[in-house]
Amino acid sequence: MVTEKVFFTDTDSAVEMGFTGQRFAHPPYNSFTADRARFDPYLAAKAVQAGARLFTEATVRELIYRRTDLTAKTASGVILDDGSRLYGIATP
């Protein structure tokens, strides 16, 4: 048996979720560890290099969706905590 766990940590606490089973005992072995203090700035820089806008002091309250067909939708923007709306390239 192999146990896979994910931890969401804060400065003085953590939440743990896990799964135990035989499935993870065989290739491909898909376990990894991410040091978020290093990974998040790296990923943010890559996103900005690719053309994304980076907001570090914003809280998203809700996603804005647009329909892509009869049963599917995609996020096209966000509503921030202050009520302002930001749209991506695909504005509704």
Q: 3-class SS at 6? A: strand
Largest CA distance in the chain: 49
pLDDT tens across the length of the chain (92 residues):
888 888 888 889 989 999 898 887 888 877 777 888 899 999 999 999 998 888 888 899 999 998 888 889 988 899 999 999 998 754 33
Predicted pLDDT at 89: 57
- In angstroms, rounded to a whole number, what is the distance separating the alpha carbons of residues 28 and 16? 24
The token pair that represents 19 in the structure block: 């799964």
Q: Where are the domains of the chain?
A: 2-87
What are the residue ranges of helices labelled H in the chain? 36-49
